[in-house]
Chains A and B, each alone.
Chain A
């Protein structure tokens, strides 16, 4: 028994070696991003200079994402890892925090300040992670990522990254203005957004929408009967025309709300599908961040008008 333990310990001792953080001046070749939104932004920032790998494909719920064998290879080979933070990636985020000692890690939400976050609870550190629904806030996060990447690159690539970041953030500024103009078609009384789960808090704050979800942020807790009847009363009282389903949550729950409203002689319809935690298929317009936001805003404005 004792000899076995000694053998085991020496085996471990052999594997232990000094850790060297990747040389800061070594050219970055591969970047791994967690969500599709981040992947899209980083592709725009680095252009064809570096390889960008996105772990979570279309339709994947980031809260429930499970890594595959191939993802592990991508992560080990990556020079830089970029993730959203604020617990969007669950346990995976904790692993990334520890990787800090070996790789360059960029947390997209680290570029924001405490005042930018929405926290609907009395707990510290329980901020809502869905920051990309506020285009202005997302622009800030993208600027931060661009600046960090520029710091890590050699002089020749640095200029290009800075230029690309500026071009892309200009696009996002434009997009933000478009969103503001589009939603201005709605009166303030019409600006009520009802979805299956609470992911649109940032959208609501940025564009003056009252946001209501049937479920909280966690999708484990089922919605209660009282949640449904409260929501039905709210819809009937405010004469809301449409509710919206999300790409990553089943629409069954909202059907119950629609039927409940019908029983109270109020016609509410399902206004369409919004992209919440993931973007659309690659190659379609909704497969980019800009396309996704345009789709969401168009769907919301047409549904509520």
Chain B
């Protein structure tokens, strides 16, 4: 049962990340997940200073607010000052992280306060963290509900907004000419990214989310240029990583998140080598 819950949560998060990650890679914003993982620090500190508690909820609210602010700032620097996207991401998250550190040393040096202690969850705790109702019914792990709710929302968003996201991702100028709100779709996507990453950080930890956001979509991008296929393939690679990673972790008694990320990287390597061989016509697939 534990194996089932961990793989289920891993897969749910993997699919959410794979869907959003595909768009991020196509928009050359793959590192945005990593940026958010650092940039949430001032949000956590401010939430703590205001609420005086290190409970999950205020931390989550503070982190989500900063996640959205990060994506807004990245876009602002990129658009208004013609900065390259990667430079814009770099400036934004280092600056916000630095502000967070200064806030800690100014106001909370005697409190153990950082993302690792108060925000990042750990996928190994999924089967332990049960949602038990007042009347004593066990509804299964809390994170399963959160992760499946998140995935449903994302599927709805991509299903309803597929055309808008598609056209603004591939041909911004054309979209503008058609009168489609480029900024609207960009911020909608970025809002989805910040919420997904912050909620997933709380459920399964940061490294896993950053890896799943980039590696499975990058693997899918090696073999297809069709967006629909890419979304599907990256979800499949994400699920395979979750399953393989869990069993690798139980084999070596190691960190589950680390093992899932490693398997994702290994899958990328395999696909890359196969593609190279195929292009040189050594084998035919």
Residues of A within 8 A of B (CB): 5, 8, 12, 15-19, 63-64, 66-73, 75-76, 87, 90-92, 94-95, 98-99, 101-102, 120-121, 123-126, 128-129, 198, 215-218, 220-222, 224
Contact = CB atoms under 8 A, between A and B. Distances in A.
Contacts of A123: 48, 52, 108, 111
Contacts of A90: 112, 116-118
Given A17-B138, A90-B117, A123-B111, 13 more contacts: A8-B148, A19-B130, A66-B255, A69-B253, A69-B255, A72-B125, A91-B121, A92-B122, A125-B52, A198-B110, A215-B109, A216-B111, A222-B105
5 contacts: A66-B124, A66-B205, A67-B255, A91-B121, A92-B125
A66 B261 CA distance: 15
Interface in B234-275: 249-250, 253-257
Given A64-B116, A67-B122, A218-B113, A121 B128 contact: no
B114 A218 contact: yes
B140 A94 contact: no
Contact of B112 (A69, A120, A217): A217
Contacts, number: 140
Contact of A67 (B2, B52, B55, B125): B125
A68 B102 CA distance: 33
Given A16-B140, A91-B117, A125-B52, A98 B130 contact: yes
B93 interface: no
A261 to B, nearest CB: 23
- B: interface residue count bin: 35 or more
Given A17-B137, A69-B254, A220 B101 contact: yes
B110 A121 contact: yes
A91 B120 contact: yes
B139 interface: yes
Name, among A19, A73, A125, the residue most crowded by chain B CB atoms within 10 Å (CB to CB): A19
Name, among A87, A121, A216, A218, the residue most crowded by chain B CB atoms within 10 Å (CB to CB): A218
Contact of A68 (B2, B113, B124, B148): B124
Contact of A16 (B54, B112, B137, B250): B137
